[in-house]
Amino acid sequence: MTQDAAPDRTGAPAAGAPLRAAAFFDLDRTLIAGSSGLYWARAARRAGMLTRRQMARMAAESLQFRLQGSTDESTLRVRDAAGELLNGAQVRDLGRMAPQVVAAVLPRVYPQMLEIAYGHQDAGRPVYIATAASQDLATLLAAVLGFDGAVGTRFEVREDGTYTGRIVEPFAYRDGKAERMAELAVREGIDLAGSYAYSDSESDLPMLRAVGHPVAVNPDAELARIAAAEGWEQVRFDQLGRKLKAGAALAGLALIGGVGRRAVTRRTAA
């Protein structure tokens, strides 16, 4: 048995109906500041699912993500850790945690991105969250924000209502996210060639290249390079992320300076 969120809308488009464009928004560092995974981890810690050491490790990874963006290694590590934690957990219990996570995530939503999303809706284009985070969280957040739906990662469920810890393929990351978008496009009668996609990360190149109008939002270095080379629109407004990077650089310089001063002191004393 597999667990899946309810369809974004009931039914399929009528045969022969004209296709319409849509807009797809990555979640972490694109629609919201930072990582939604951190807030899920905090809720899991309160529920007794995470140890203090596991929580500290996830907090450190969240900070690294905020500074540098995602990597395949870190994403797969988080995916595997989530699978281990979910194995045996009740779907009902995770569902009860979701409102806590959404409540924590909402203050991190970029107002600029909501304006863009609602502008698409006003122009007749449905808007969707497209994320490697869980389908349930993505669907709930989409509903709260007034979006038209979401695609995310789905997890397998046993007959007794517990998770197995295994993912229902495809994993909504890199090519898998683009596959989930394509499935939705068929179901909802969406013209991907006329659609828009927004992301911060090089890992979302399949998502961005699946549409006719890719937009790089607060892009990591590699995505910024590719976006400039291919003439894609770029949007930058994550001032906190820049401050964090500057702070990390200053801390590094201070550490180097301190080491240098200690070395000079030792030489002088000698």
The answer to whether 186 and 180 have CB atoms below 8 angstroms apart is no
**179 in Cβ contact with 152 (< 8 Å):** no
Distances (CA, A) of 30 to 12, 161, 210, 216, 241: 29, 33, 17, 9, 12
Active site residue 175: no
DSSP readout, 176-231? Answer: HHHHHHHHHHHHHTB-GGG-EEEES-GGGHHHHHTSSEEEEES--HHHHHHHHHHT
Catalytic entry in 4, 26, 93, 136: 26
* Residue 26 annotated in active site: yes
Please tell me the total number of residues recorded for the chain in this structure: 270
Retrieve residue 36's tokens. Answer: 């939604």
Q: How far is CA 181 from CA 39, 99, 153, 202, in A?
A: 25, 25, 12, 17
Q: How far apart are CA 136 and CA 95, in angstroms?
A: 8
Cβ partners under 8 Å of residue 225, min gap 6: none
Catalytic residue among 28, 136, 148, 220: 28
**What amino acid is encoded at 68 in this protein?**
Q
- Catalytic residue positions, numbered: 26, 28
